[in-house]
Amino acid sequence: MVRKWWISVPLLVLLVACSKPTPSATAAVEPATTSASSVTPTSVKRSEPAVPIDAFAQAKRLGRGVNLGNALEAPQEGQAGIVLQEEYFQVIAEAGFNTIRVPINWSAHAMAEPPYTVDEAFFTRIDWVIENGLKHGLNVIIDMHDYEELHGDPSSHKDRFVAIWQQIATRYRNQPDSLYLEPLNEPHGELTPIWWNGLLGQVVTAIRQVDGVHTLIVDAPDWGTIQGLLQIEILKGEENAIYSFHFYDPFPFTHQGVEGTTAEYQTTGVQWPGPPSTPLAPNQQAGQFAWVRKWFQDYSTLPTASNPCSPSQVVKQLDWALQWQESSGKPLFMGEFGAYSAADMQSRVNWTTTVRQEAEARGFSWAYWEFAAGFGIYDPTSRKWNQELLGALMPGS
Ligand code: BGC
């Protein structure tokens, strides 16, 4: 939900081919197409499920998950601090997680011009991630993350977006149904709700030309927020889709101290639950939060001394999400939630416990943001879990 330093890096730089040595792909993975335009229903046999797929069952199956963040969504893996290791998949499965969500910067590894071919070495790396996740019994969500040019200029990038997904869907169309496809993380910017609803229809049509199996995970517009669900159009004729929201409220608590955020978010010392230990500046008490108040008139996500961080705020928002699920008849998934390491540990544990419990009480599967970086729950150097946070997510672990 925050802007990254690499967003300003020119696209050309991002197009440098992945030079990392990559393990070999499994036989189960389809070969890459060399040209997006070659992906048509006539050239590729569409995969079909053995039995009809129930999206609610697929959502339930996601259970408890973790995002492998700060790895493959950087322009080059490692630039955001994490290079995925084979041992991570086992460690995650042994801790009892059911799912990994894998944020991936596909757009940094595809040609800028038609046919927008995805780099084969990068595809091979993703093959390896999928293979290792499935090998350890984990559901694997492959998520297109940080295609910032698309959010900034959808009309110039829509064809490329669809062509990249045609290639991904073709390559993985024969994988088991524990692989899930998430077309785009947190649509925002010029990719307005109207734009996103239209583009979503196009990309789903392209995916379904070749892949009739894999469950889609559709992010709400407006950064994947619960409020964004109000503006999403349910996909017509597409039953195999789960809709997704991300939960970071109250932002001045979860994102305190995150580098690269604007002044409104530069909070420190905000505790959960309870009042902030340092008062918020006036510019942190209005501005960007006004739109939240519009939807929740008697409710503000902004903690102040007189309106402290309170579990009832979580309850209210998640109640609203449940209401959306009931009225739309479509399953919801909480694809990201987490609190940054600048918050005090006890507050992070309290917040994580509350959000996780409240989500589960409403039957929502979830994926924590994230595994081993700034919001992380695992220390890759000592190779140890943060037991307090792990306990908040997996009671009894
Ligand atoms: C972004 C991360 C961010 C997280 C929490 C994710 O979708 O990609 O960079 O830290 O949300 O804001």
pLDDT digits (tens, 9 = 90+) for 363-375: 999 999 999 999 9
Q: How far apart, in whole angstroms, are the C-alpha atoms of residue 144 and residue 10? A: 19
Ligand 1 centre distance from Cα of residue 47 (Å): 33
Q: With bands split at pLDDT 50, 70 and 90, how would you rate the model's confidence at 7? A: low
Distance CA 377, CA 369 (A): 9
Give 374 or 2, the one with higher predicted confidence.
374
Residue 67: φ, ψ to 5°: -85, 130
Dump pLDDT digits (tens) for 276-299.
544 445 444 444 444 333 333 333
List, in order, residues 6 or more apart from 199 with CB less than 8 Å away.
Answer: 154, 158, 161, 162, 191
Q: Rounded mean pLDDT of 38-53?
A: 80
CA 305/CA 74 separation, integer angstroms: 38
State the sign of the Cα–Cα–Cα–Cα dihedral 284, 287, 290, 291.
Answer: negative
Distance from the alpha carbon of residue 1 to the mean position of ligand 1, in angstroms? 4
- pLDDT tens digits for 195-229? 999 999 999 999 999 999 999 999 999 999 998 99
Q: Is the pLDDT of residue 134 over 80?
A: yes
Confidence band of 308 (pLDDT split at 50, 70, 90): low
Sign for the pseudo-dihedral over CA of 316, 318, 320, 322: negative
CA 256/CA 86 separation, integer angstroms: 32
Predicted pLDDT of residue 27: 33
**Can you say whether the dihedral through the CA atoms of 65, 217, 327, 319 is positive or negative?**
positive
SS3 assignment, position 103 = strand
Task: Please state the pTM of the whole predicted model.
Answer: 0.87
Name which of 375, 222, 364 is nearest 291 in CA terms.
Answer: 222
d(CA 57, CA 80): 34
The percent of residues above 90 in pLDDT, for the chain, comes to: 71
Domains and CATH numbers, the chain: 11-271+310-393 (3.20.20.80)
Q: Which two tokens stand for residue 147?
A: 């295609």
Choose between 329 and 39: higher pLDDT.
329
The predicted structure's pLDDT at residue 310: 75
Kindly report which listed range (82-86, 119-123, 172-176, 222-226) carries the lowest average pLDDT score.
222-226
Structure tokens at 121: 């070495």
Residue with the larger pLDDT of the pair 304 and 84: 84
CA of 30 to the centre of ligand 1 (A): 30
What is the distance, to the nearest Å, from the Cα of residue 378 to the centroid of all Cα atoms in its chain? 18
Pocket test for ligand 1, best of 2, 141, 370 (most atoms within 8 A of CB): 2
pLDDT of residue 397: 81
Span 161-173, average pLDDT: 98
Q: What is the predicted pLDDT for the residue at 288?
A: 40
- CB of 143 sitting under 6 A from ligand 1: no
Q: How far apart are CA 168 and CA 175, in angstroms?
A: 11
Range in 115-129, 161-175, 251-265 the model is least confident about? 251-265
Residue whose CA is closest, atom 4 of ligand 1? 1
Nearest ligand 1 atom to alpha carbon 146: 8
Write the DSSP string, 309-331.
Answer: B-HHHHHHHHHHHHHHHHHHT--
Average pLDDT of every residue of the chain: 85
